[in-house]
Amino acid sequence: MTHIISAENSFFQLPIRESKPRNNGLTILIDNGIPTQYFWDIVNSFSELIDLIKFGWCTSVVSQNILNKIESASSRGINFFFGGTFFEKAVKQKKIDFLYEYFKYYNCQYIEISNGIIALTNREKAKYISDFSKEFKVLSEVGYKDYQTSLTLSSEQWIEYIQEDLEAGSVKVILESRESGRSGICLANGEIRYELTSKIINSGINTKDIIFEAPNKDMQVHFIKELGANVNLANISFNDIISLETLRLGLRADTLNFFEGKEA
């Protein structure tokens, strides 16, 4: 009889991963308009490793099969939300009431509120967080899409804005790096802004309340080594689900030695 080895019954000593629905160690995928059949295949194959899916770039406006994707994810215990650009477009055009109805129509549990593009102060953003958190689980975002604008924020401001968002009602705060990993907590060349992220991590804010956008392996490895297997990571490609989980468990060269000698 063939013995199937999984992370749960492996003879290896591995970091402990919470079972779904989990509050920590979140893996959040980004769907920027991938084909529906591919979406279904990924969701059906790896649902136990996926916590949330973000429909980015306002793609739900032009995706004919968005409802089918949502139903497929939901049937496998995966929540979803629309990216912050969706919220910012509604604010820009004064369509917040319509946005609320849109969220209700799709039975959203989670929504994202950000100010990465439009002229919206963090205090104004916090007011939206407070209002929407009465009916939705709000994931807010700190940081700007434009690289140069992100550099104008001091580390003290990043920390202040994260705290303000959490106090306003965000369940977790996302730290911007874009799907390219070249803004927000990253430099334009893709290098992580180590001094900034270190100050945030050591600020006293509970890192379980923070989600790091980490669209590439180098970023994923860094934050796993900084905060362990159960760090919250977002903007993960549909292609990278298994590779990320092996990084989390110390089963890949980049983290194989990191967890040795530590308690699982």
pLDDT of residue 185: 92
Q: Residue 103: which CATH number?
A: 3.20.20.70
Structural domains in the chain (count): 1
pLDDT for residue 217: 95
Residue 210 lies in a domain: yes
Please confirm whether the linkage preceding 21 is cis (ω < 30° from 0).
Answer: yes
CA pair distance 103, 113, nearest whole angstrom:
12
- Give kind and range of the element (H or E) at residue 81: strand 79-82
- Cβ within 8 Å of residue 19, ≥6 positions away: none
C-alpha distances (whole Å) from 228 to each of 171, 194, 223 are 20, 17, 7
pLDDT number for residue 166: 98
Scan for tokens 């939300």, then name that residue: 81
Q: Which residues pair with 112 in a beta bridge?
A: 139
Q: Tell me which residue has tokens 């916090």.
A: 126
Which residue segment(s) compose the domain that 242 sits in? Answer: 27-248
Q: Is residue 237 part of a domain?
A: yes
Cα–Cα distance measured from residue 152 to residue 207, given in angstroms and rounded to the nearest whole number: 23
**Neighbouring-strand partners of residue 52:** 28, 79
pLDDT per residue, tens digit, the chain (264 aa), is 334 445 565 678 888 888 889 999 999 999 988 999 999 999 999 999 999 999 988 778 777 889 999 999 999 999 999 988 899 999 999 999 999 999 999 999 999 999 988 989 999 999 999 999 999 999 999 998 888 888 889 999 999 999 999 999 999 999 999 777 778 999 988 899 999 999 999 999 999 999 999 999 999 999 999 999 999 999 999 999 999 999 999 998 899 999 886 654
pTM (predicted TM-score): 0.92
Query: Would you state the pLDDT for residue 8?
Result: 62
How far from chain centre, in Å, is Cα 262?
27
The answer as to whether 116 is a domain residue is: yes
In a domain, 73, yes or no: yes
Please indicate, yes or no, if residue 78 is contained in any of the structural domains: yes
Residue 68 lies in a domain: yes
- Domain membership of residue 187 (yes or no) is yes
Distance, in Å, from the CA atom of 221 to the CA atom of 184, rounded to the nearest integer, reads 18
241 belongs to a structural domain = yes
Residue 63, sorted as left (phi over 0), alpha (psi -120 to 50) or beta, turns out to be beta
